[in-house]
Structure 1
Amino acid sequence: MNRSKLNWLLAALAAITLTSCSGNEEQTMAKPEPVHFESGDECHVCGMVISNFPGPKGEAITEKEQHVRKFCSTKDMFAWMLQPENENRDHTLYVHDMTQTEWEHPDDTALIDARDAFFVVGSDRSGAMGPTLASFATEEAAHGFMMEHGGEVLKYSSITMEHLNTGMAKHGMDGMDGMDH
């Protein structure tokens, strides 16, 4: 094969490879829409019925299989997500923006991308089984909540397993008090 034919073949192969790669990038970049919580949905971590509890909820959708895992609290979502086998997998995560919905019965129209959210850790507000992480679309809203309910404002990427344990000793199972479910 002469040199010009070989160069042409390599250039064509490179063009095909680049075209197919860019098409795949566009496919994986399109994230799935949030899924509404239904009355019988159970938490992927603890198995409790999600709608029986106050506070923000979470969900994880595996981008490749579009498998949805729902959580009764943002705390359970983080507990699952921070497990070594889940940390590096491609998931789209949603949580409730608590400035757009009420604490007792979060509305699914207020679901936002968890990776873009701000969280208040260690507040006096409880979700399923006690302390939870209050989620907000803006840092300003999270700070306003923190001023009223205590805690610390963190970005998604800053939350660790240690933050999930914050307040457990302080609150114990206090979050269960007064729940009429």
Structure 2
Amino acid sequence: MNPYRRRAVQAVGLVFLGAAGCTGEPQQAGPRLAVEISRGDFCHVCGMTILEYPGPKGQAHEHRRERPLMFCSTSDLFAYLLQPETAARVREIYVQDMDGRDWQEPGPGPEGFVDALEAWYVAGQARMGAMGPTLASFSTRQAAEAFSGEFGGRLLRFEEIDLEVLRNLGGDTLRRQRQHQPNGHPSDH
């Protein structure tokens, strides 16, 4: 079982048991939902202003934080998530569904975020994110396949993304960009 799924199940169970012990009645703590990104939000990894850059964004709710950590790109989100100490702290993870969104300005609203554990990702595609090469994120396989058909790359699920995938994003993206340009020079479509 994915460490994030296992931790989420354990955390919900502990909250449920803890609440029952305090009041004598079982109470459930619901999941924290994605929130709107504001103009003043900065990326937890790189410190960049999130809304000033292209590509999909991410959010991670931690157990003891009211507001989620925000990320300017899915690659920064995964760089954070793949740190050994992170799994124990993270409760919910969201990424933007890029199906129908403007890549250059995907928007701040919470309605475009989906559960990162259920999303489909396209690695090595030709579009650049806030920090350069990034993972394009989608709520459906069909949308991810359509994007891959246009911009290249390979489909991945959450549990398939590791540090090796992140390290290879740069070379894969540059190759895809060259394939999509008639003159062989990279650009951001």
Equivalent residue number for residue 8 of structure 2 = none
Equivalent residue number for residue 147 of structure 1 = 149
Distance 1:152 1:31, change over 3 A: same
Residue 165 in structure 1 maps to residue 133 in structure 2: no
* TM-score, normalising length: structure 1: 0.77
CA distance in 1, matches of 2:161, 2:90: 18
Q: Greater Rg, structure 1 or structure 2?
A: 1
Query: How many angstroms does 1:62 deviate by?
Result: 1.1
Query: How many angstroms does 1:144 deviate by?
Result: 0.9
Query: How many angstroms does 1:169 deviate by?
Result: 3.7
Equivalent residue number for residue 36 of structure 1 = 36
Distance 1:89 1:150, change over 3 A: same
Query: How many angstroms does 1:58 deviate by?
Result: 0.3
Query: Could you say what the CA RMSD is over the residues aligned between the two structures, in angstroms?
Result: 2.4
1:131 is aligned with what amino acid?
P
Distance 1:19 1:58, change over 3 A: closer
- 2:26 equivalent among 11, 23, 26: 23
**Any gaps of 5 or more consecutive residues in structure 1?**
1-16
- Whether the 8 Å contact between 1:100 and 1:110 is mirrored in structure 2 is no
CA distance in 2, matches of 1:153, 1:141: 11
- 1:119 equivalent among 104, 107, 121: 121
Distance 1:146 1:41, change over 3 A: same
Equivalent residue number for residue 51 of structure 2 = 51
Query: How many pairs align?
Result: 157
- Whether the 8 Å contact between 2:60 and 2:90 is mirrored in structure 1 is no
**Any gaps of 5 or more consecutive residues in structure 2?**
1-16, 178-185
Query: How many angstroms does 1:65 deviate by?
Result: 3.4
Query: How many angstroms does 1:91 deviate by?
Result: 2.1
CA distance in 2, matches of 1:178, 1:151: 16
Instruction: Give the helix-richer structure, 1 or 2.
Output: 1
Alignment of 1:97-116 (within 5 A): 97-107=97-107, 108=109, 109-116=111-118
* TM-score, normalising length: structure 2: 0.74
> For 1:5-36, what per-residue CA distance to the aligned partner results, in whole angstroms no more than 9, with x for missing partners?
xxxxxxxxxxxx89927825x22xx1111111
CA distance in 2, matches of 1:49, 1:80: 17
Give percent identity, aligned residues only. Answer: 39
Equivalent residue number for residue 136 of structure 1 = 138
Distance 1:88 1:18, change over 3 A: closer
What SS is found at the alignment partner of 1:84? coil
CA distance in 2, matches of 1:19, 1:67: 22
